[in-house]
Chains A and B, each alone.
Chain A
């Protein structure tokens, strides 16, 4: 069962096929939430709408998340070179940037709540918080995976030959990043510009 990649039909590791297949499913998960958000753009029930977004602030946290994909690539590259020390460094950098992004999201949510945008306010508020909240949850899961990679590499459970594991977590991380690019554009940027 633990066949080498030469023994598989597609010449790919099972786990790589599986993670791509799984990410295909994730696109529909976020797609459905984004559709609901777009449906409810105007459904603010008299409360705050898209004008509440602070585009410069979210741009910065988005930029941090984007850069974390770069460090993720560097971590994977270091792992394929068998350099676990450098891999750990980049893994921590990636997780750290993910944490900065999450911190930004928590701050942003707090500000919105203080300004009157709460989950129970309107369909707009519900769909915004649940969509971005589920994205935040994905980032949190990603950080947990990165940190476990870090710990396992320290305990010796993760060996230089295990770079497929780093690659899988990397693929997941890039996906979370790409979805954020879509969310930032469709949820924040375009509606805000359209409102003027």
Chain B
């Protein structure tokens, strides 16, 4: 592969092959890597859930030991939250944010690669625990002091989540800077697509929530490794502190998982309804309000602890209050569809599925705001049903809608609609069959996180559990349809053309798949839904009239000097130092820890010593110095 750059040592210049992926700094490639990695973890997490449901298919079944069962439900939770839903949102952030704001990459391309490698290495590290003495078995919340007990292998949890947290924090800084500072000319805040708004809010939530769980996990580790007393009641330590810190992170985390899906749905519904989004400003402000209030509801996870009546009343009220912005959004989505020319393709079906299933989950959520009611439901399958309706019926449906919607953008091909509809209907059926009955079995008293279903709960609880387990069979079938559709469409999907959905936002302004530099000329934005306004004008009655292709606004000649970052191996090489550090912390081995720290520092220095692009001194011109000579020198 020829290249114009002076080849620096350790700087691959090829654009194909494995090395080009390992060294990529292209936001689109990183997005694609996030996507496939997430898919692998999704099937692993699904496998763990299937084992759990097999054990619970009948009362008193003991196919797995209690320890193995605990590992399975714990790893299922950790996987689905940290290795599937969050990074799948990150896949969309990576691929779509620069395209939707009219930029050529993110603000810090190598930091972006660093975030991905941290995610991958964190995931591999967590899963390596299965081979090295057993996976975490103390639930995804990792309550102390249970989690300071070596029996539950929570060392991997404390260190693994810390690695993933650093990656999330780095990408939050990156995406916030990108959205604030790299919008195309004319794209004011109130002209940003709703997905960009929701990405911005989500990344602020990540920015403020990740340090809090980092603190909780550090305390956990100091207790475990060095005998600190943070959560040890024997010397006056308070286990409730862990719960407060965890949920102060954990509840914003819920919105971190749902807001990107809400953004995706807010993009797809207007396009497939052929109407602008109803109440754009209300949707945006509701999203921001959810971000703020999301930090004030955490103790509703702790109503059955000794937080006291005042705290219970206060958090009950805030919990009811946060349903208001959520409700605003649901009404806006419904009114967007109202009177529209609806196209029920797969992407749209998943959006409608999102709105309806998320509403069910939202309503059962409001019941938790009622403290005495919550005391009855706490740690029962009713809770399991609730959060799967918001995270599976909500987040996952929305993310899948995004996959069908943007697949043509990424590949230039359409996904198969027949298979897509099979996927949707089996998915909807399997989902409701799995999680619907859990409302009932939970209200009848079935506890969560219990390895064996007690026969004394009675025949109806047994029946509900059998239905749930059968639902998983349908879901597995459905997921395989999706996988088949994905692979088949990648290989020989129908060509999509540039604008298959008659879309509204500027990511469709460029080729599909987009060129390396996204846009030949950066578009100038003069409207919300810029792309639609370029395609349609209004006649005297206000009806849209298609503008002939040759009369559409033009962004001028392609830019002559497009400056893109070169590939770099240093983000990967530096991140690899995390592995000895992490294993050193789990096995309490100072040599490994030292090797990891030195490796990381050397890697980071090599990274900052390497220019972003060869022959570049990395410094943009600014007002304190004379403009650089020549127009295209930077």
Task: Report which A residues bind B (CB closer than 8 A).
Answer: 1-6, 8-10, 12-14, 17-18, 21-22, 24-26, 28-29, 32-33, 36, 39-40, 42-45, 80, 119-123, 125-127, 129-130, 134, 144, 148, 157, 159, 161-164
Given contacts A3-B182, A32-B216, 20 further A-B contacts (CB under 8 A): A2-B565, A2-B634, A4-B621, A4-B622, A9-B180, A14-B177, A18-B107, A18-B174, A18-B177, A29-B215, A32-B248, A39-B238, A40-B236, A45-B236, A122-B235, A126-B228, A127-B230, A129-B228, A157-B609, A162-B619
Residues of A contacting B594 in the complex (Cβ-Cβ under 8 angstroms): none
Q: Is B452 an interface position by the 8 A CB rule?
A: no
Are the CB atoms of A21 and B173 closer together than 8 Å?
yes
Instruction: Contact check, B207 vs A25: say whether CB atoms are below 8 A apart.
Output: yes
Taking a contact as CB atoms under 8 Å apart, the answer to whether B618 and A2 are in contact is yes
Is there an interface contact between A161 and B109, defined as CB atoms closer than 8 Å? Answer: no
**B450 sits at the interface (CB 8 A):** no
Q: Is the CB–CB distance between B230 and A14 below 8 Å?
A: no
Q: A12-B181, A121-B229 are in contact. Are A43 and B235 (CB under 8 A)?
A: yes
Contact B212 A161 (CB under 8 A): no
Is the Cβ of A119 less than 8 Å from the Cβ of B180?
no
B182-215 at interface with A (beta carbon < 8 Å): 182-183, 187, 207-208, 210-212, 214-215
Hey, which chain B residues are within 8 Å of A10, CB to CB? 180-181
The main secondary structure of chain A at its interface with chain B is helix
Find out whether the CB atom of A119 lies under 8 angstroms from the CB atom of B226: yes
B540 at the interface (CB under 8 A from A): no
Q: A28 — which chain B residues lie within 8 A by C-beta? A: 208, 211-212
Q: Given A18-B107, A21-B177, A163 and B227 touching (CB < 8 A)?
A: no
In the complex, the number of residue pairs spanning A and B with C-beta atoms less than 8 Å apart equals 155
Q: How far is the CB of B193 from chain A (nearest CB, A)?
A: 15
Give Cα A140 to B431, complex, Å.
51
B183 touches A25 (CB 8 A): no
Task: Please name the residue on chain A nearest to B189 by beta carbon.
Answer: A9
Task: Give chain B's interface residues, CB within 8 Å of chain A.
Answer: 104-105, 107-109, 169, 172-174, 176-177, 180-183, 187, 207-208, 210-212, 214-216, 218-219, 222-223, 226-230, 232, 235-238, 241, 245, 248, 563-565, 601, 605, 609, 612-613, 616-625, 634
Query: Do A24 and B236 touch (CB < 8 A)?
Result: no
A25 with B210: CB separation less than 8 A: yes
Given A36-B215, A39-B241, A161-B619, verify A80-B624 contact (CB < 8 Å). Answer: yes
Could you list 19 A-B pairs, sorted by A, with CB under 8 Å?
Answer: A2-B618, A4-B622, A9-B182, A14-B181, A18-B174, A25-B173, A29-B212, A32-B211, A33-B215, A36-B230, A39-B238, A40-B237, A43-B235, A45-B236, A80-B624, A119-B228, A122-B235, A126-B223, A144-B601
Cβ A164 vs Cβ B619 within 8 A: yes
Contacts of A134 in B (CB 8 A): 218
Contacts of A44 in B (CB 8 A): 236
Whether A2 contacts B177 by the Cβ 8 Å rule is no
Across the interface, do A126 and B222 meet the contact criterion of CB distance under 8 Å? yes
A133 to B23, CA, bound (A): 36
> Which residues of chain A are within 8 angstroms of B563 by Cβ–Cβ distance?
1-2
A43 to B237, Cβ gap below 8 A?
yes
Contact A120 B173 (CB under 8 A): no
Knowing A13-B622, A123-B237, A127-B230, say if A4 contacts B634 (CB, 8 Å): yes
Cα of A123 to Cα of B621 in the assembled complex, Å: 52
Q: Give the complex CA separation of A180 and B593 in angstroms.
A: 28
Given contacts A13-B620, A119-B222, is CB(A22)–CB(B237) below 8 Å?
A: no
Most B CB contacts (10 A, CB to CB) among A2, A17, A163 go to A2
Task: Name the one of B172, B218, B229 contacting A123, with C-beta atoms under 8 angstroms.
Answer: B229
A130 contacts B208, C-beta separation under 8 Å: no
Q: Which residues of A are found within 8 Å of B634, using beta-carbon distances?
A: 2, 4
Give the Cβ gap from B70 to chain A, nearest Cβ, in Å. 28
Kindly state the separation between the CA atoms of A148 and B606 in the bound complex, as whole angstroms. 12
CA of A17 to CA of B108, assembled, Å? 12
Bound: A148/B604 CA distance, A: 12
CB distance B236 to A123 under 8 Å?
yes
Kindly provide the distance from the CB of A17 to the nearest chain B CB, expressed in whole angstroms: 5
Q: How far is the CA of A123 from the CA of B144 in the complex (A)?
A: 14
- B residues near A42, Cβ cutoff 8 Å: 236
Nearest A residue to B522 via CB reads A7
Query: Chain A residues near B605 (CB, 8 Å)?
Result: 148
B620 touches A4 (CB 8 A): yes
CB closest chain-A residue, reference B628: A4
Docked Cα-Cα span, A161 to B624, in Å, equals 8
Return the 5 tightest CB-CB contacts between A and B, nearest first.
A43-B236, A29-B211, A126-B228, A45-B235, A32-B215
| Nearest-CB residue, chain B, relative to A19 | B173
Residues of chain B within 8 A (CB-CB) of A29 are 211-212, 214-215
Task: Give the distance in Å from the alpha carbon of A1 to the alpha carbon of B104 in the complex.
Answer: 7
**In the assembled complex, how far is the CB of residue B179 from the closest CB belonging to chain A, in whole angstroms?**
9
The answer for the CA separation of A79 and B609 in the assembled complex, in Å, is 19
B169:A25 contact, CB within 8 angstroms: yes
Write out the residue numbers on chain A whose beta carbons fall within 8 Å of the beta carbon of B237. 40, 43, 123, 126
A143-B238 Cα distance, complex, nearest whole Å: 35
CB neighbours of B107 from chain A (8 A): 1, 14, 17-18
How many whole Å from B188's CB to the nearest CB in chain A? Answer: 9
A32 to B249, CA, bound (A): 11
- Let me know if A25 and B208 touch, CB within 8 A: yes
- Bound: A164/B618 CA distance, A: 11
CB-CB < 8 A to A26: which residues of B?
211
Q: Report the minimum CB–CB distance from A57 to chain B (whole Å).
A: 25
Q: Which residues of B contact A18 (CB under 8 A)?
A: 107-108, 173-174, 176-177
Question: Of A5, A33, A123, which contacts B232 at CB under 8 A?
Answer: A123
Find the A residue at minimum CB distance from B234: A45
Q: Are A9 and B183 interface neighbours, CB within 8 A?
A: yes
Residue in contact with B229 in the complex, picked from A4, A80, A126, A159, CB distance below 8 Å:
A126
Of chain A, the residue at the smallest CB distance from B176 is A21
What residues on B are CB-neighbors of A5 within 8 Å?
A: 620, 622-623
Chain B residues in 8 Å Cβ range of A43: 235-238
Expressed in whole angstroms, the Cα–Cα distance for A12 and B107 within the complex equals 12
Verify A24–B612 contact, CB threshold 8 A: no
CA distance A172 to B236 in the complex (A): 35
Closest residue on chain A to residue B608 by CB atoms: A148
Bound-state Cα–Cα, A123 to B238, Å: 9
Q: Quick check: B624 and A163 within 8 Å, CB to CB?
A: yes
